[in-house]
Amino acid sequence: MNLSRRQFNQRIGALAAIAVCSRQSLGFAENRLRLGLNTWSLRALSQQEAIPIIIQTMKQARLQDCQILFTHVEPAKFDPVFPVGVFNPPKSSPTPQQIEQQKATEAALTNWRLSVPMSYFEDIRSTFEKQGLRIKSYSLRFGSSEAEIDRLFLMAKALGADSIVNRLPATLTNTVAAAAEKHQMIVCLHFSDLNELHKQLAASQYFRMDPDIGDLTKAKIDALQFVQTNYLSMYSFDLKDAVPGGSSVPFGEGAAHMKEVLQFLKEKQAPITAYVDCDYAGTGRSPKEVEKCASYAKSIID
């Protein structure tokens, strides 16, 4: 979020106009604010152990929907060699050996994606649905080819998801936009650059923003103002609390205006999913912390 407060205030107004097609006309709206679990809250769980614990956690926290993280779906042998992505940016530059190893891992992942039967994902979906739960969104990592990106949408559909989410590289904007049109599936965008976000939202009627109100707060951006200005372009968001310029904190202890954001979206009857995202110290594999965070959110909107 490399913007001054003045620049931020000048630019966010333009983003609301991007929602040229309502979600109602596209058939995605549920006409109310929903709570779900971002399984990043249980990020320390390996793929082999994750699904039963995620289901247990959702039931204990009384959350019907989840946004499932790719490391909880794709086999562990394809996990990144070094930290990547919006969730956990690298703290230092990778070594040449790590880069080569990562390339080999990504090539193997591509081969797996292009060959794995859809029944693999359908079985995961069935496991959740038998418990009355739903995978609503798939937090994936994009491939590079049209064929692989097409398969990612098919995987998400097989999981039962109505959307995919991640930061979208600018070079893939048009390719992913075409795939979204083909599959009629929402693509939720993480972002760190508002100018790039503006361009990407304009690329497809299926593109929506997926802000993280905790990360906005860390960047010293007023999360409530951002949501009030841009909620028509949102399909979901990460519900996280944080200290301005600092780190994540337990729900209700930071400055992300969690209560006000949830109350605003409830009053607007916004068809948006707020995904409980616990990533403060002591989280990563704790159902109790998820339950605590979900309880806090539910006390506001129930």
Domain ranges of the chain: 5-301
- 80: confidence class by pLDDT, cuts 50, 70, 90: confident
- 302: confidence class by pLDDT, cuts 50, 70, 90: confident
Per CATH, domain 5-301 is 3.40.50.300: no
Residue 22 has a pLDDT of: 41
- The whole-angstrom separation of Cα 20 and Cα 51 is 37
Averaged pLDDT of the chain: 89
Smallest Cα–Cα separation from 289: which of 134, 59, 57? 57
3-state class of 269 per DSSP?
coil
Residue 126 DSSP symbol: H
The predicted model gives 89-94 an average pLDDT of 66
pLDDT digits (tens, 9 = 90+) for 255-283: 999 999 999 999 999 999 999 999 999 99
- 98: confidence class by pLDDT, cuts 50, 70, 90: confident
The predicted model gives 182-201 an average pLDDT of 95
pLDDT digits (tens, 9 = 90+) for 17-68: 444 344 444 444 466 999 999 999 999 999 999 999 999 999 999 999 999 9
pLDDT at 5 over 70: no
Q: What CA–CA distances, in Å, run from 281 to 240, 247, 250?
A: 13, 9, 9
- The whole-angstrom separation of Cα 152 and Cα 159 is 11
Residue 26 has a pLDDT of: 46
Residue 99 has a pLDDT of: 86
Residue 227 DSSP symbol: H
Q: Which is more confidently placed, 29 or 176?
A: 176
Report pTM. Answer: 0.88
Decide: residue 205, CB within 10 A, 0-12 exposed, 13-18 middle, 19+ buried. Answer: buried
Residue type at 176? V
pLDDT at 3 over 60: no
Smallest Cα–Cα separation from 58: which of 275, 262, 299? 275
Residue 63 has a pLDDT of: 98
The predicted model gives 91-118 an average pLDDT of 89
pLDDT digits (tens, 9 = 90+) for 67-76: 999 999 999 8
* Range with the poorest average pLDDT among 1-5, 191-195, 257-261: 1-5
Residue 95 has a pLDDT of: 86
* Range with the poorest average pLDDT among 80-89, 133-142, 190-199: 80-89
The predicted model gives 105-121 an average pLDDT of 95
Residue entry with tokens 């965008």: 189
Residue 88 has a pLDDT of: 47
Residue 102 has a pLDDT of: 85
pLDDT at 187 over 90: yes
